[in-house]
Amino acid sequence: MSVVKTLGQFIIEKQADFPYAKGELSRLLRDIGIAAKIVNREVNKAGLVDILGDAGTINIQGEGQKKLDVYANEQFISALRSGGECCVVASEEHDDCIYIESEISKNAKYIVAIDPLDGSSNIDVNVAIGTIFSIYRRQSTNGKALISDVLQKGSRQVAAGYIIYGSSTMLVYTTGKGVNGFTLDPSIGEFCLSHPNMTIPKEGHIYSINEGNYVHFPQGVKDYIKYCQEEDVATKRPYTSRYIGSMVADIHRNLIKGGIFLYPVSAAYPKGKLRLVYECNPMAFILEQAGGGATDGFNRILDLTPLKLHQRSAIFLGSELMVLKLMDCLNQTNKEKKQVS
């Protein structure tokens, strides 16, 4: 009988990896885990209680908020407020940052950027959805935290993770020393280590993209899609197309099986759809820590400097060799453009 290791036990055990750690980050990760269990309870009841459907409000993205969006946002912010380790929360559901200035948080060192419930369009049709979070250490040294504490490069994250509310509920996170996955055991109400040291295969045979936007994709992306669809036994092509429309679910599958997730610029999203601070950066940190790659097509995602809280970016991330092949396709069309111009 293998010994069950809970998220709490694992966090404390790994705290030793950080010699100067005094437990603040451990407590912060614990707070996020608790909120995730509360949100999971409501997600699992969705359809049985009046928590499906629209909240009748609009977020800064101009997107209609679902009741579960609002609920999840409230739960994570409440947990971060009461936990005392977080001084600023940047949430997809709020126009501006939430500065926590309570007595319990007066010495808080950490910034949390969060998409409380990603994949909202899937909530009412019972498809997997997720929470994505990113953690930074504040750079300002005293007084109220600053927006510059939030708009740090992704390479400065101290931790990142996601929760996927699917056939089972999992919490996957990294603190820069590999990626570990925990599955919620409802019988004991604990996230238990189920996927230690997660690594993404260097090569994969799944590509995930909304091909409905094909006509507006950059030529290099079109070339890559055609590459995925060509017959070639040696490279096991054509690849399989799998797209759920829920970033956390698509990336989680590719992390386990190998594959590439692509959200290029398009007519509707000329700068890309996914948000750099609380979607692209945390997912890029996780995938790099799992041995994969993450780019906006030209730059490493983690090297981008956010200028605005809700700024968007194109993103291509997954198996290292698939990301490199995509970049070859993009670079090739750029060379051809330069030769012509």
* Single-letter amino acid code for the residue at 160: A
Least distance (Å) from ligand P6P to the CB of residue 314?
12
Least distance (Å) from ligand P6P to the CB of residue 27?
29
- By CB under 6 A, the count of residues binding ligand P6P is 9
Residues facing residue 142 across a β-bridge: none
* Closest to ligand P6P by CB, 184 or 283: 283
Distances (CA, A) of 236 to 48, 74, 229: 44, 46, 10
Least distance (Å) from ligand P6P to the CB of residue 118?
5
Which residues in 1-60 contact ligand P6P (CB under 6 A)?
A: none
Query: Residue 181: how many CA atoms within 13 Å on its side-chain side?
Result: 20
* Closest to ligand P6P by CB, 245 or 270: 245
* Closest to ligand P6P by CB, 108 or 322: 322
**Burial track 31-68 (b if 16+ CB lie within 10 A, e otherwise):** bbbbbbbbbbebbeebeeeebbeebeeebeeeeebbbb
**Residue 282, class by beta-carbon neighbours within 10 Å (0-12 exposed, 13-18 middle, 19+ buried)?**
buried
Q: Binding pattern to ligand P6P, positions 260-299, x when CB under 6 A?
A: -------------x--------------------------
Provide the Cα torsion 245, 161, 319, 231; round to 10°.
-20
Q: Which of 78, 102, 121, 299 binds ligand P6P (CB under 6 A)?
A: 121
Least distance (Å) from ligand P6P to the CB of residue 129?
8
Least distance (Å) from ligand P6P to the CB of residue 175?
24
* Contact status, residue 279 vs residue 309, Cβ threshold 8 Å: no
CA–CA dist 30, 7 (Å, integer): 8
Q: Binding pattern to ligand P6P, positions 149-188, x when CB under 6 A?
A: ----------------------------------------
Least distance (Å) from ligand P6P to the CB of residue 299?
20
Which residues in 214-253 contact ligand P6P (CB under 6 A)?
A: 245-247
* Closest to ligand P6P by CB, 118 or 149: 118
Six-digit token string for 49: 């209680």
- Please name the helix (run of DSSP H) or strand (run of DSSP E) that holds residue 170, with its range, or none: strand 169-174
CA–CA dist 75, 71 (Å, integer): 6
Q: What is the DSSP string of 316-335?
A: EEESHHHHHHHHHHHHHHHH
Least distance (Å) from ligand P6P to the CB of residue 38?
21
Q: Does 118 bind ligand P6P (CB under 6 A)?
A: yes
* Closest to ligand P6P by CB, 210 or 332: 210
- Binding residues (CB under 6 A) for ligand P6P: these are 118-121, 210, 245-247, 273
